[in-house]
Amino acid sequence: AKKAGRDTLQFFDPRMQQVVRERATLEQDLRTGLAQQQFELFFQPQVEDGSIIGAEGLVRWRHPGKGFVSPANFIPLAEESGLIVPLGEWVLRTACEQLARWAQDPALSELVVAVNVSPRQFYQAQFVDQVLAALAVTGAPPSRLKLELTEGLLLTDIDDTIAKMVQLKQHGVGFSLDDFGTGYSSLAYLKRLPLDQLKIDQSFVRDVLTDPNDAAIAKTIVALGMSLGLRVIAEGVETEAQRAFLHEHGCHAWQGYLLSPPVPVAQLETLVRRERQT
């Protein structure tokens, strides 16, 4: 490699160069994908006290050459490149359109949709207006929309975060703290946030039956939620034994492969209708 400054030296590593090139291509593909509507919103049912009360919206990208690309691979890039702002806006709009359609159907009108919000999207000065516009334009009932925030949001500007949450809450929008326990949020902040729900991360659920530390963390989150007056939902529940353990320890809401992976909206509706009939 050529003699260069510390930061530029790695740029001459051919492997690094390839990574950089692939990222640039993927970023361009993301832009194209947004323009050509290659994205679809899937829904994973959320269960409370034995029945489906709503669903989490999870974006899927049908890449023309690569097939389905996992959000784990493109959300971070969308976040870094700023494309998360238009993508997030599309997700919000799509979720609200769904809520508005369901509002017309007595069998589905009670469903809540949880939408993931990236920090960069949330930090936009227009974020509150963006959400309110999506609700107003579609006619979706605000109380059926729940926003999933991550602890990363709490690091930058807690007062701004609270102010935005309060404004949206005044319209009836709910808030869930996603991946709880994996980040750095302090309990003092937690108390100040106008949250409705904590979400136990799947990394604690996975081994909840075999790892006493994970079991202790899960139980602690449930107890914390209770004492703060928050609902608690567990994600990544794959087995009946995990569900039963969580239930026994006071967590009555969950989502996971045990019931269903994220599915296209028609499939979610079928699941709900089938359940309501029995």
Q: Contact positions toward ligand C2E, by CB under 6 A?
A: 44, 57-59, 70-72, 75, 88, 91, 116-118, 178-179, 202, 235-238, 256-257, 262
| Residue closer to ligand C2E, measured from CB, 153 or 193 | 153
d(CA 166, CA 186): 19
Residue ranges that bind Ca ion, judged by CB under 5 A: 116, 148, 178-179, 235
CB of 135 to ligand C2E, least distance (A): 17
User: In whole angstroms, how close is the CB of 13 to ligand C2E at the nearest point?
Assistant: 29
User: Exposed, middle or buried: residue 252 (CB in 10 Å: 0-12, 13-18, 19+)?
Assistant: middle
- Closer to ligand C2E by CB, 70 or 277: give it: 70
Angle at 38 between CA 36 and CA 43, to 5 degrees: 140
Asked if residues 84 and 118 have their Cβ atoms less than 8 Å apart, the reply is yes
From Ca ion, ligand C2E, none, interface partner of 75 (C-beta below 5 to 8 A by class): ligand C2E
- What residues form DSSP beta bridges with 10? none
Query: Are 179 and 151 contacting, i.e. CB atoms less than 8 angstroms apart?
Result: yes
Buried-exposed string 167-196: b where 16+ CB fall within 10 A, e elsewhere: ebeeeebbbbbbbbbeeebeeebbeebebe
Nearer to Ca ion, 69 or 147 (CB): 147
Count of C-beta atoms within a 10 Å radius of residue 202: 17
Q: Coil, strand, or helix at residue 99? A: helix
The nearer residue to ligand C2E, 11 or 68, going by C-beta atoms, is 68
With CB atoms as reference, the residue minimizing the distance to ligand C2E is 256
Shortest separation between residue 241's beta carbon and Ca ion, angstroms: 20
| Minimal distance, residue 236 CB to Ca ion, in Å | 7
**29: partner contacted, choices Ca ion, ligand C2E, none (Cβ within 5-8 A by kind):** none
Q: Smallest distance, Å, CB 3 to ligand C2E? A: 41
Start-to-end CA span in the chain (Å): 68
State the nearest-atom distance from the C-beta of 39 to Ca ion, in Å. Answer: 17
Nearer to ligand C2E, 172 or 261 (CB): 261
Of the two residues 114 and 230, which places its CB atom closer to ligand C2E in the complex? Answer: 114
Q: How far is 268 from 81, CA to CA, in rounded Å? A: 32
